[in-house]
Structure 1
């Protein structure tokens, strides 16, 4: 029995050694998995708290990107008074007196519009001289006139964008 007991204790010894080696391996495996997880968690915490982007020099770029551009402010420009004779054929002469304000989308384009005033006056006068008094009657006539003048103003004042023409005075005589 003593031989059998020795054999049994020898058989138990290697399994105990294997279990000790296995628990050491499991401990190493846990440490190898835990270290990257802890580092990733710390990096994520630093990133989302804003510390890491600041350390990497990325904070200034984000602040510049988040800064809103200055608001675009529309502007009004007073056109000089225009007096033209209308196209009446053989009838008695008829005249149109027009004072208007031009609205542009961005006030920074005001110098472009001021530089285009001679061209605007020419285009407006040429168009208005071909109108007949009947074409200016009623709100539909005024609306058509506004749309035509806006189209011509956008051509003449480019790159400024004309959004509307406001009639201050329109007298047909």
Structure 2
């Protein structure tokens, strides 16, 4: 009987050892994850205060405005793709933001290609394509892509809408 008790006592001790390793491993993982989270939190909290961030944003906006140039395109009036013979048209006035004056000189001879690329794209639009802010954003991104293709290797920073009229 003593031998049986000894065997019974030994068996649970062997089963308890793997559970102990699992618990220690899980605790180590939790500690590592907590440490990583704390590191990310502390590194992001070193960001400037709201006042400093506002001043930095104003300074960078002034620097950006001082280092970019605006190239105005003539107004464009195009017929939109007729959904049901509605005769819709769009008047669009666009300006191109370029990095420097040299870029303005470089893209000037290629403006006919830019206007052509815009006209071809705009004539395929439907009135429903231009609804809401998402439609205007898609229009802006597509025009930016097309102008950069037309004037490659030069590059336009952004498209600025001066007027959008759809009737």
Measured against the shorter chain, the TM-score band is: 0.5 to 0.7
Bigger shift: 111-120 or 76-85?
Answer: 111-120
Does the CA contact (< 8 Å) of 1:76 and 1:102 recur in 2? yes
TM-score (norm 1): 0.56
Select the residue among 136, 142, 145 that pairs with 2:136.
142
Deviation at 1:107, TM superposition (A): 2.4
Long gaps (5+) in structure 1? 1-71
1:9-88 alignment runs, 5 A limit:
73-88=67-82
Long gaps (5+) in structure 2? 1-65
CA distance in 1, matches of 2:75, 2:120: 14
Select the residue among 107, 111, 114 that pairs with 1:113.
107
Deviation at 1:157, TM superposition (A): 1.5
**What residue in structure 2 maps to residue 102 of structure 1?**
96
TM-score (norm 2): 0.58
In structure 2, the CA distance between the partners of 1:159 and 1:106, relative to structure 1 (3 Å rule), is farther
Instruction: Give runs of ≥4 in structure 1 deviating > 4 Å.
Output: none
Does the CA contact (< 8 Å) of 1:110 and 1:160 recur in 2? no
Q: Deviations over 1:77-111 (max 9, x none)?
A: 00111100000233210000000100112321111
CA distance in 2, matches of 1:89, 1:142: 19
The alignment covers a number of residue pairs equal to 102
CA distance in 2, matches of 1:130, 1:78: 23
Select the residue among 126, 143, 153 that pairs with 2:147.
153
CA distance in 2, matches of 1:105, 1:159: 13
1:114-129 alignment runs, 5 A limit:
114-129=108-123
